[in-house]
Amino acid sequence: MFGAQQIGIDLGTANVLVYVPGRGIVINGPSVVAISSEDYHVETIGDEARQMLGRAPGNIAVVRPMREGVIADYVVTQEMIRHLIRRVCGRVRFFKPDVMVSVPTGITSVERRAVHDAVISAGAGNAYLIQEPLAAALGANVPISSPSGSMVINIGGGTTEVAVLSLNAIVVSDSIRIGGSRLDSTINSYVKRHYNLLIGEGTAEDVKIAVGSALPLDQPLTMEVRGRDQVAGLPRTITVSSDEITEAIQETLGQVVKCARDVLERTPPELASDIIDRGIVMTGGGSLLRNLDGMLTQETGIPCFVTDSPLTSVALGTGVALQYFDTLKRSLVSFR
């Protein structure tokens, strides 16, 4: 199959990671692109572009080309992938690389085709799509090759993927377009509604990381938040507590819990018994929210635990899929 350079890409809503066999993860940064408004030349991507959000001059557009796990801006996504391939392979290369890209399970055939075409147009020789729960399981070293069942909950920036896997394939799955970005916007709305304070998405994310928790904490945390007063129009500082943020995100987290319960209800009994023994593996950046594993354990009655490398599991899984392509090719989405 592979005679050229191999590249695995976790094309996430919040972060983009690039894996190269033998080298590991070579690129890891925010899925933010600073691009020239005149000729669509990529100025920078990743951390530098994220720092330019809300601060760039008029001739530079700073955008997130991925929304809720799918392509929101095709041209910018294509240019971003082209930029990533050039960084890995160089501008001069004899063979076009073979690229493995992760996609949510819930996207449509049109959205899958858009990802495939964007990767090919960006300079790939072959493009293969792997569903995110399968990649997450592979990257987290979940034993899915045997006939026994394993369950994975992957909470990314734009989507939450829940799947039961067996024999290197997904048996039952569900996907909702809710993830870390939705939690950020929920916090943003809460602060705006309760304090008449406007804050940016970066500040909302900082609040989530600093004091966010799925369950009330024994010793609540507090954080100062700066923004612009809606009434006076002037900068103002407030203090929010972890209890407030817990209350604010309960409804959103409830949809994640419902998704997990729905998948468990549709799981064959034999596989369900395996899941009770093994527990549920949690991956993705959203799984790092304080006490989210405890909340899911309470709601499902099954032990949930976060894998050792939740942020990189999907990217590592694309690398495993490249390595064992012949074994996994039936579970991949390919276009010819």
pTM above threshold 0.85: yes
Query: What tokens were used for 19?
Result: 């894996």
Closest CA to 133 of 263, 327, 294, 1: 263
Question: Which range is least confidently modeled, 70-74, 76-80, 93-97, 322-326?
Answer: 93-97
Please report whether residue 36 resides in a domain.
Answer: yes
250 and 122 in a common domain: no
Please report whether residue 89 resides in a domain.
Answer: yes
128 and 186 in a common domain: no
Any idea what the CATH number is for the domain that residue 172 is in?
3.30.420.40
244 and 164 in a common domain: yes
Please report whether residue 199 resides in a domain.
Answer: yes
Task: Check pLDDT > 90 for residue 91.
Answer: no
Residue 217 CA neighbour count, 13 Å, CB half? 17
159 and 62 in a common domain: no
Average pLDDT over residues 312-334: 87
Closest CA to 11 of 140, 158, 138, 139: 158
Closest CA to 12 of 88, 85, 84, 64: 64
pLDDT tens-place string over residues 153-194: 999 998 999 999 999 999 999 999 999 999 999 999 999 999
Please report whether residue 139 resides in a domain.
Answer: no
170 backbone dihedrals φ, ψ, rounded to 5°: -90, 125
167 and 38 in a common domain: no
Count of domains observed in the chain: 2
Which range has highest mean pLDDT (65-74, 102-111, 177-186)?
Answer: 177-186
Distance CA 218, CA 23 (A): 43
Average pLDDT over residues 252-265: 96
Query: What tokens were used for 197?
Result: 């304070």
266 and 323 in a common domain: no
Closest CA to 320 of 143, 170, 77, 80: 143
123 and 70 in a common domain: yes
201 and 248 in a common domain: yes
Average pLDDT over residues 143-158: 93
58 backbone dihedrals φ, ψ, rounded to 5°: -65, -25
Percentage above 90 pLDDT, the chain: 62
Per the structure, the complete domain to which residue 321 belongs is given by 6-134+314-334
In which residue are the tokens 């609540």 written? 220
124 and 170 in a common domain: no
Percentage above 70 pLDDT, the chain: 96
pLDDT at 79: 85
175 and 262 in a common domain: yes
pLDDT at 49: 87
225 and 96 in a common domain: no
Closest CA to 317 of 134, 174, 170, 98: 134
Distance CA 220, CA 223 (A): 10
pLDDT at 2: 46
Closest CA to 141 of 310, 27, 333: 310
pLDDT tens-place string over residues 192-214: 999 999 998 889 999 999 999 99
Please report whether residue 240 resides in a domain.
Answer: yes
21: Cα separation from own chain's centroid: 21
Please report whether residue 255 resides in a domain.
Answer: yes
pLDDT at 334: 53
Contact 287, 306 (CB under 8 A): yes
Residue 325 CA neighbour count, 13 Å, CB half? 19
Residue 51 binned pLDDT confidence (cut-offs 50, 70, 90): confident
Please report whether residue 1 resides in a domain.
Answer: no
Distance CA 253, CA 178 (A): 9
Task: Check pLDDT > 60 for residue 335.
Answer: no
Neighbours of 38 (CB within 10 A): 9
Q: How much is the mean pLDDT over the chain?
A: 90
First to last CA, the chain: 13
SS3 string of the chain? Answer: CCCCCEEEEEECCCEEEEEECCCEEEEEEECCEEEECCCCCEEEECHHHHHCCCCCCCCEEEECCEECCEECCHHHHHHHHHHHHHHHHCCCCCCCCEEEEEECCCCCHHHHHHHHHHHHHCCCCEEEEEEHHHHHHHHCCCCCCCCCCEEEEEECCCCEEEEEEECCEEEEEEEECCCHHHHHHHHHHHHHHHHCEECCHHHHHHHHHHHCECCCCCCCCEEEEEEEECCCCCEEEEEEEHHHHHHHHHHHHHHHHHHHHHHHHCCCHHHHHHHHHHCEEEECHHHHCECHHHHHHHHHCCCEEECCCCCCHHHHHHHHHHHCHHHHHHHCEECC
163 and 282 in a common domain: yes
